[in-house]
A = this chain, B = another copy of it.
Amino acid sequence: MEKIVATIITIGDELLIGQVIDTNSAWMAQELNKMGVPVIRRVAVGDSWEDIWNTLDEESKKASIILITGGLGPTADDITKPLLCKYFGGNMIMHQPTLDHVTHIFETILKRPMIDRNRKQAEVPDNCRVLKNEKGTAPGMLFEKDGKIFVSLPGVPHEMKGLMKQAVLPFIANHFQTTHIEHRTLLTYGIGESFLAERIANTEEALPAHIKLAYLPNYGLVRLRLTASGFNKEALQTEISSQFEALKKAVGPYLIADKDISMEQIVGNLLIDKNATVSTAESCTGGYIAHLLTKYPGSSVFYTGSIVSYSNDIKQEILQVPSEVIAQKGAVSEATVIEMAKQCLKLMKTDYSIAVSGIMGPDGGTEDKPVGTVWIAVADKKQVKTQRLQLRYDRERNITLTAMNALNFLRMLIVDNP
């Protein structure tokens, strides 16, 4: 049986001049993988008739499922729809259900008059299956040709996701008999990629050919992912589970999670398990740790809030860090973060607290405290622990690394004091 694979084509000049970052493809690839359809390529092309046409030719030689996003908006640079109409030899017609839907959106949600451009969104090629876009005006379109399917979706992420879930994934599941794919991911912290590879070399070498191991380093974390593919789902699951156990054992003390979750989710889950709360006092990270902890639903159970004390006045007046500590030791010092963590615990009435203060760059460094100097403190009711980092990256990366280190530092405090 031929293996069903997919390719993703994203259309838009904005992708080629680097003005936007493509997050759609990653999400689409995840969903396709879950249902056993590997994505073998992703191609981004500009708003050029010839390039899009040629890419359709090429990609349809490589895969049975061709997913296309972008280029469906109401403006003149969006050429995908007329191109697809011509490519599949159709004629453009007005699609009444879509026109009703667009009219409804304008009348009841947007409460604005419709103009011709909006009405044009309801025109579709007569040889496609129209997919209703519950969240927007541009419908999805599904074409079949020579046993392959081509799906065109709008590039707006939440519209694309809605269409994928409601129409495209169910269609694919019905239409193709797909290979089964299983992934298992674990997270390590505190060990570099090459040392980890040394450590688990025997386990890696012992993997059968149809199970692959990938290393995915990211901000101090290294994810290890096993991927197995085959047609017998149960045998595959048994086999990958046993290999995953061996891998966990080989990783040993560096294992921090045996599924693919984020550091902030690990910390959140630990707090939920302990029925405990945390608050944060952030200087250099400017609210980023608070943002990470509140990104996921349900965080109000364990998170109460943050004092983002970007200025020293806030550190003194709101956080009540003694002014002499800041005057004598500086805002970026062990003494200051200790006070920040203690005050945070007290003011916010939580079981744990995190405090950070540092110099994220590119300016603000001194000889004693160069750019990248960071102090972190974590506290519970019995103790305060501190850590000094010396980072050497750009501002954005320094902020992310500080947040990751601080969250991991809290994770260790929780795990070490059960």
Contact = CB atoms under 8 A, between A and B. Distances in A.
Interface of A: 12-23, 25-31, 33, 38-47, 51, 55, 58, 73-77, 110, 112, 115, 117-118, 156-158, 183, 185, 192-195, 197-198, 204, 212-218, 223, 225, 227, 260, 280, 282, 285-291, 293-300, 303-311, 313-314, 317-318, 347-349, 361-363, 393-397, 399
A231 to B, nearest CB: 19
Contacts of A76: 197, 204, 213
Contacts of A25: 18, 22, 44
Given A193-B73, A287-B306, A305-B308, A18 B43 contact: no
A42 B16 contact: yes
Contact of A260 (B19, B225, B286): B19
Contact of A20 (B16, B73, B218, B282): B218
A19 B216 contact: yes
Q: Which 9 A-B pairs have the closest CB atoms?
A: A286-B294, A287-B290, A287-B287, A18-B29, A18-B30, A306-B308, A18-B26, A42-B44, A74-B194
Nearest to A295: B396
Contacts of A362: 297
A51 B41 contact: yes
29 contacts: A15-B26, A15-B29, A16-B40, A17-B33, A18-B27, A18-B28, A18-B31, A19-B26, A19-B30, A21-B21, A25-B44, A40-B51, A41-B55, A77-B212, A117-B194, A158-B393, A282-B287, A282-B290, A286-B303, A287-B290, A287-B306, A290-B290, A290-B308, A297-B363, A300-B310, A304-B311, A305-B309, A307-B307, A313-B349
Given A195-B115, A288-B291, A297-B363, A19 B310 contact: no
Contacts of A395: 295-297
B215 A75 contact: yes
A43 B58 CA distance: 12
Contacts of A399: 295
Contacts of A223: 19
Nearest to A201: B76
Given A20-B216, A30-B17, A117-B194, A318 B305 contact: yes
Most chain B CB inside 10 Å of its own CB: which residue of A158, A214, A347 = A214
Given A40-B45, A299-B286, A22 B20 contact: no
A13 B214 contact: yes
Contacts of A307: 305-308, 318
A286 B293 contact: yes
A75 B40 contact: no
A26 B212 CA distance: 29
Contact of A158 (B19, B112, B192, B394): B394
B318 A311 contact: no
B26 A21 contact: yes
A310 B309 CA distance: 16
A278 to B, nearest CB: 11
A110 B395 CA distance: 21
Q: Which of A39, A192, A287 gathers most chain B CB within 10 Å?
A: A287
A26 B18 CA distance: 4
Contact of A16 (B39, B304, B361): B39
B308 A197 contact: no
A305 B295 contact: no
A306 B318 CA distance: 10
A215 B77 contact: yes
Nearest to A196: B75
B17 A183 contact: yes
Given A42-B43, A290-B287, A26 B33 contact: no
Contacts of A75: 193-194, 197, 215
Given A21-B26, A42-B44, A318-B318, 12 more contacts: A16-B42, A17-B33, A40-B46, A117-B197, A158-B397, A286-B299, A287-B290, A287-B294, A290-B308, A290-B310, A304-B314, A307-B318
